[in-house]
Each structure stands twice: as structure tokens, then as C-alpha cells.
Amino acid sequence: MASWNMGLASCHKQTMSFEVSCSRKRDRDRERGSIHPYKVVEITPPPKCLGVRCLPPNLQCGESVTIEGQAYTISAVTHRYQLRKGKYEPSEKRLDVLSTGRYLVNLYLENLLEQS
């Protein structure tokens, strides 16, 4: 489970830029570049932006995270890169999440579909 100190920012594309800093006590994590914030989006229709959150760097699909007291299950982790000066640099990390109840219902329905 992950519930860390969280910074918030808008998920809508605007001309305004923002910066979220996730402070960690260990310098070795900073050296590895693991303090990038994640943009968190709940993907149930309609998609809902949950803001920009500072979470551990090793999150995977199927893991559970707690955001503002509610449990979510990660359904996708996306790392985007941008070409700058001939090198690809990380530009965004995004988590697509579902509420844990919705995630379990989707798994159940997928199993029913495979069995039929």
C-alpha cells in the first residue's frame, strides 16, 4: 500500500506550467531519478483526474494504493518520454486506476466471458 505526502495540480491541458516536488529523505533515491510525480486518473467512464501524486517508483499493475482515504487498484502504468537535444528524457508518469470494487467486478466479468 502506498499513501505518501501528495502534491496536487490540474490534469487539464493548459498553457500554464506547474512543478510538483516530492521530497524524500534518502539521497540515493534522488540520484536514481525516482522522485517524479505520477498523474493519477480514475479510468471509469467518465475518466476522473485524481491529481498529481508522489508515490513510490516501483508501482505495478494490480497493486493497491490509497488516495484521499479511498482504495484504488492500478490497471496501467505509463511512462512518457520526450526527445530533447537528441536524448529521450522522462516527461510524465501516469497511473490509470480503478476503485478496488470496480476492479474486482471487471475481473469477475472477464472470467465469465472466457468461460462462455
Mean pLDDT value of segment 64-70: 93
> Phi first, then psi: what are they for 77, rounded to 5°?
-120, 125
- pTM, entire model: 0.68
- Taking 90 as the threshold, does the pLDDT of residue 113 lie above it? yes
Sorted by where each begins, the domain ranges of the chain are 27-115
Please report which confidence band the pLDDT of residue 51 belongs to, taking 50, 70 and 90 as the band edges.
very high
CB atoms within 10 A of CB 40: 23
Cis bond leading into 90, ω under 30°? no
8 A C-beta contact, residue 81 and residue 88: yes
Sheet strands (E) in the chain: 38-42, 48-53, 64-67, 70-84, 87-99
- Taking 50 as the threshold, does the pLDDT of residue 12 lie above it? no
